[in-house]
Amino acid sequence: MSSLQIQIHGYAIVSDDDRIADSDGATPKSLRNDADWAYFQSELDRADIVALGRLGHEANANIKRRRRLILSSAARGLEQRDDAWWWNPAKTPWRDVTAKLLPNGGRVAVPGGQAVFDLFLTIGYDAFHLSRAGGVRLARGRSLFAACGRGLSADSVLSDAGLNPDGPQIIDAAAHVTLNVWRK
């Protein structure tokens, strides 16, 4: 954690081959699970801000009116718009974002997509909540991290980032869905 006590938590449900979406970039039904969704929503409720990509923002209405940080190359830096804060990481450093949006520290929830997961991998996760839909394979789908698309497993990427798994918990036995929280 930084001196501001910023905690960064990533959240994803993946297939056995570490994919978050199908070849069209959409989340398939095989990765949708009620138990995982309930856990994910309760975790988002604990966050001070939710950081996600533009496509995820556009695809998922902000029904609960959570505070959002949208990562987009179309942003001029860090700017407040009617629907959320918009951030272009190429123009404004993370430390400036946290100083403005979380001056007293707080929890950042990162639900993706891949470019967002990769960026926060370089910034540093405090925890990554990795759910897995057992028996699902999406060979030509979008990988969790870019490195997974090059053959590394999500577990290897998280381990290389200095995170250690708590150990998998079964959250839906009938659907073969597990959750493993990786922590600093």
Instruction: Name 15's Cβ contacts closer than 8 Å, sequence gap at least 6.
Output: 30, 31, 132, 133, 136, 137, 138, 141
Task: Give residue 61's pLDDT band: very low, low, confident or very high (50, 70, 90).
Answer: confident
86 pLDDT above the threshold of 60: yes
pLDDT band at 63 (very low <50, low <70, confident <90, very high): confident
Burial label for 67, CB within 10 Å (0-12, 13-18, 19+), is middle
Residues with Cβ within 8 Å of 116's Cβ and at least 6 positions away in sequence, in order, are 51, 52, 53, 56, 71, 110
User: Residue ranges per domain, the chain?
Assistant: 6-60+106-183
* % of the chain surpassing 90 pLDDT: 88
- Higher-confidence residue of 58 and 67: namely 67
Full-prediction pTM beyond 0.85? yes
CB within 8 Å of 29: residues ≥ 6 apart: none
Residue 170 to residue 175: CA distance in whole angstroms: 10
At residue 3, does pLDDT exceed 60?
Answer: no
Residues in contact with 62: Cβ distance below 8 Å, sequence separation at least 6, in sequence order: 68, 83, 84
Return mean pLDDT, the chain: 94
CATH number for 6-60+106-183 (one of 3.40.430.10, 3.90.1150.10, 2.40.50.140, 3.40.50.2020): it is 3.40.430.10
CA distance 176 to 136: 9
DSSP state, residue 30: G
Tokens 């199908």 locate to 22
Rg of the Cα atoms in the chain: 16
Mean pLDDT over 64-89 rounds to: 95
The distance in angstroms from the start CA to the end CA of the chain is: 9
Beta-bridge partner residues of 127? 9, 183
pLDDT for 4 equals 63
Whether 26 and 20 have beta carbons less than 8 Å apart is answered as no
Q: Are 119 and 71 in contact (CB under 8 A)?
A: yes
Cα–Cα distance for residue pair 106/145, rounded to 1 Å: 25
Q: If 0-12 CB within 10 Å is exposed, 13-18 middle and 19+ buried, where does residue 88 land?
A: middle
